[in-house]
């Protein structure tokens, strides 16, 4: 029998009412109570907030953390523990928590800190994320100038997400169309996984160094390297903020290690769809 991987969904997958169907599971209820004690109102925002509210980074990241981890707990009860895990962007924090690297409390405090830093960043740098489809990654890379536009998420053979400054959005979309591709703006509040986030990533690393990090109970594949976490966990997690998400390479590495079943934990089926399309 093939190995199983849990995929923790990232920013952009958030929907109103997510995790409402599993909120009464014992481990989930305990998690939500903990989150409420640290950030009062967060569970209500997740269960009852509007799409527009949930799209704000300050809410998106902690609510996605809670939803991802809640679904992972329920899936583990149903299927047993996976052989490895991977989180997409913000999903890497609940993945590390699920694997035992961070306690629930430390992981939630970390995601709140990350959200605060990135929310402030969206005020400092105005931008968006644009999914480019129908073009191979190398063609998308050639369309990016490394200044106003950067490849940010390598999602598949014909899908790459680009971090784009607000001032360059129309020009970049036109370049994509001229090249035969299609550009779709994602429902996030800024441009992420690009060099502009380096100051916030440095601040996040300082915060992470104050937390206890344990050896994982299973392999956790890092967005930064497309390999299992090893060495300096704090630096790897922090640098992820200002570096591309190498999801395509990660899936390939998992498959090379015998993973045959990918189970998405979180709202929706975005990641399993990317795995199937390759």
Which residue range is the domain that position 137 belongs to?
127-185
Residues 96 and 135 in one domain: no
22 shares its domain with 107? yes
197/122 Cα distance (integer angstroms): 10
Same-domain status, 70 and 81: yes
Quick one: tokens of 105? 């409390």
Per residue in 250-272, pLDDT tens?
999 999 999 999 999 999 898 99
CATH of the domain at 169: 3.30.70.250
Q: What confidence tier does 1 reach under pLDDT thresholds 50, 70, 90?
A: low
Residues 14 and 110 in one domain: yes
Handedness of CA 14, 65, 227, 83 (dihedral sign): negative
Averaged pLDDT, 1-12: 91
> Are 107 and 232 part of one and the same domain?
yes
CATH number, domain at 112?
3.40.366.10
In a shared domain, residues 78 and 200: yes
Percent of the chain with pLDDT over 90: 93
Question: Among 89, 150, 189, 243, which one carries the catalytic annotation?
Answer: 89
Dist. CA 36–CA 33, nearest whole Å:
5
pLDDT (mean) for 180-204:
94
217 and 166 co-located in one domain: no
Same domain, 163 and 209: no
Task: Indicate whether 16 pLDDT > 70.
Answer: yes
pLDDT at 17: 96
Which is the catalytic residue, given 150, 189, 193, 243?
193
In the chain, % of residues over pLDDT 70: 99
- Residues 28 and 152 placed together within one structural domain of the fold: no
The domain boundary, picked from 185, 203, 228, lies at: 185
Active site residue 89: yes
Total domains present in the chain:
2
Residues 49 and 10 in one domain: yes
Query: What's the average model confidence in pLDDT over 25-30?
Result: 98
Do 108 and 143 lie in one domain? The reply is: no
Judge if 209 and 247 occupy the same domain: yes
Q: Residue 88: is its pLDDT beyond 80? A: yes
Mean pLDDT of all residues in 122-129: 94
Structure confidence at residue 124 (pLDDT) = 93
Does the annotation count 150 as an active-site position?
Answer: no
- Of 141, 161, 185, which closes a domain? 185
β-bridge mates for residue 78, sequence order: none
pLDDT tens digit sequence for 232-241: 999 999 999 9
Work out the average pLDDT over 185-209. Answer: 94
Out of 143, 162, 185, pick the residue that ends a domain: 185
């Amino acid at each position: 029998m093939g190995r199983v991987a849990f995929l923790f969904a990232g920013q952009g997958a958030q929907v109103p009412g997510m995790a409402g169907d599993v909120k009464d599971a014992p481990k989930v209820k305990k998690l939500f109570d903990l989150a409420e004690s640290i950030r009062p109102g967060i569970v209500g925002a997740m269960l009852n907030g509007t799409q527009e509210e949930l799209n704000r980074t300050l809410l998106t990241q902690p609510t996605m953390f809670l939803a991802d981890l809640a679904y992972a707990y329920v899936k583990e009860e149903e299927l047993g523990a996976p052989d490895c895990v991977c989180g997409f962007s913000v999903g890497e924090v609940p993945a590390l928590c699920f694997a035992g690297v961070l306690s629930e409390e430390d992981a939630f405090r970390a995601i709140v800190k990350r959200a605060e830093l990135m929310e402030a960043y969206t005020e400092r740098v105005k931008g968006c994320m644009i999914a480019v489809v129908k073009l191979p990654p190398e063609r998308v890379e050639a369309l990016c100038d490394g200044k106003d536009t950067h490849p940010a998420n390598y999602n598949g053979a014909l899908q790459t997400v680009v971090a784009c400054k607000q001032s360059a959005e129309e020009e970049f979309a036109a370049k994509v169309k001229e090249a035969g591709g299609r550009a779709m703006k994602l429902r996030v509040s800024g441009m992420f996984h690009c060099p502009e986030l380096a100051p916030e990533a440095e601040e996040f690393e300082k915060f992470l160094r104050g937390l206890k990090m344990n050896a994982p109970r299973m392999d956790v594949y890092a967005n930064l390297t497309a390999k299992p976490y090893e060495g300096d966990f704090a630096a790897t997690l922090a640098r992820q903020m200002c570096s591309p998400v190498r999801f395509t390479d990660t899936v390939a590495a998992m498959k090379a290690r015998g993973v045959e079943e990918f189970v998405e934990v979180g709202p929706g089926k975005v990641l399993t769809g990317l795995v199937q399309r390759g």
